Structure 1
Amino acid sequence: MSTQKAFDPFDLSASQEDWDTSRSGSVNITPRNASSTNAHDVNSNPSMDSNDSFDPFGIATLSQTPNAGIRSASDDPPTRRPREDSPSTPPEVNRVTRQSVPVTALPPKLVLKLTMYEEVSSQARIEADGTLSSNAAIEGSVYAQVQCSDGRKNAPFALATVDPDFSVRPNQKFLWNDATMNNNAFAVHIPKPELGYVPVAHYSLTKEVQHLPVLLERKVTVQDTSCRLAVQVRSKLTNSGDIEDLTIVVAVPERVNGDSIEISRGEGVWDELKRTIQWKLKALETGQSFMVSAHAKLWKPAQEDDDIRFPPLI
């Protein structure tokens, strides 16, 4: 009975002697299950003889020259590839020195506030032809307040009147250079210590008016410490149209306690700073009238000869 040889294309079942005689070279390969004093540990790498010619990956060379095939980025100096579109030489730049730029100081900032106080009086008369005319007189004052960014002095300013019929008298105390610019304009300079409103000019105008559009009637009643004010405005029948955006302003004297003011009729607004009561009406039709009223308390009882006035303005 013949014994068949198992399929072993790599001749793994050959003995140790057959392996040694069939291979050329001096590389000794020891099977893992062989018991020999020269056997390596399982975790250690097998020894490699330099005479072994079978070395397709160059392991023997790497072991002799470690890191021979590895190049570090720091071995060669870095090179930068120039851009093709960049010029070879930088363009010329005109640099402006600090000395070549003129430095000029900005003019001071000036904030000018103006307020006007005006009184109007008229006297009606009937002409020979039966027409009604009035002689109107206007007396007014201009007050100014200046806020200037210059800490040493305030900048001057000029005032001019548009209507040449006005007669303007500037306040000599605040007149700049003691001279007017022309008949209708003058320069004003307010000193730095002046913080509030100061009178800078007075003006007046007298004019003949053929037709006044409204009639105004004011009535003040005072009893002990109580006072009552009533103002009525009527549009004339001869007006060609309605009166629009009508405003009635009444100045309250210092003798009246401002905290006690109450509006009795109309949508009035009390201004504590200006000490005025103001009523506004969008429109007043021809021939119609509009009445407003208010009452307040006096600081002390009024005497019989006391004349407490509430000047109205329209």
Structure 2
Amino acid sequence: MKILFLLTALVLTVVGSARAEELNWWAATAEDVEKAPCKTQSAPSITAMEATLLALPGSGASKTLNGISFKNESPRRLELFSDLHKLDISLRGRPELSFTLSCDKVLCAVKKIYGDTEGVQLLYLLKTFGFNGSHLRTNLASAWRADELNEILQALADYPLHLYPVEYNKRLIHFPRGVRYGFGQDVVANASMEVFDLWNELSAPERQQTFLHELGHTLAYRGKLDTSSEWLRLGGWQENRRTVNGILYRDYVLLDPSKAVSEYGKINPSEDFAESVVAYRFTAPRLKKLHPQKYEFLKKQVFASQEYLSQDQCSSSP
């Protein structure tokens, strides 16, 4: 039996009328992000994050993890510490991380390893959203700064908590500072949840918009929503398949540009999906008016009926 290996070639071809409505490059501008209903205004305080972690149930557990002997600890905090330091695939085969610390409590340990603020932020990030921001357990990563982690925590809170974890213990890193990215210096962030030096040069709303755009890709991957037949239909995309030397390629043609939510979304169905997720959150009335079918798809498939059309919906939950 011949095995076909699947590769997705994200090829842009636009077919349609030149009279299509002029679009912004992004579905949501920095101003849209700032003024959106239910916008999270700040990350939780360190005191609040630490209180959440200390409130985790259970006590009395003793265990040695990564060279540290913990005593009388919550099993859940021990689990979080262990997960935070599990080497990812980029360091497969390396010895496990080992620390020499006098701490016997998890919060003490993460503060010593990452910093008084950053340690609490990283543990809270993993517990609340399922993302692992440790630069020690992966390759090609710099340590996060506290102000950067605050912006990421604020951005993640703009989406409903039921979405998390999208993929538990998924890495979320800052690419090594000052190092050129192999695919070009103009890259701000990517769908692998990596951010680059250029991200730091953006305004705060732009950084959050960019980060949440990339999160949209992660949301799509969970159910392959961005290449589903329904999404292709709603976005005006045509899928073309061809096999070359036993390898199956998929190319996408945009037949109806009027269905795009932004110029960037015209690149391929995946970018169209990520841009539409951002539009649902930050420009919901516009998306519902101009693209009602996309709006309803995202409302059902991603946001579990949570809407952001007005400030009145901020306290509602699915």
Q: Give the TM-score normalised by the residue count of structure 2.
A: 0.20
More strand by percentage = 1
**Higher Cα radius of gyration:** 1
Q: Give the TM-score normalised by the residue count of structure 1.
A: 0.20
More helix by percentage = 2
Structure number with higher relative contact order (C-alpha < 8 Å, ≥ 6 residues apart): 2
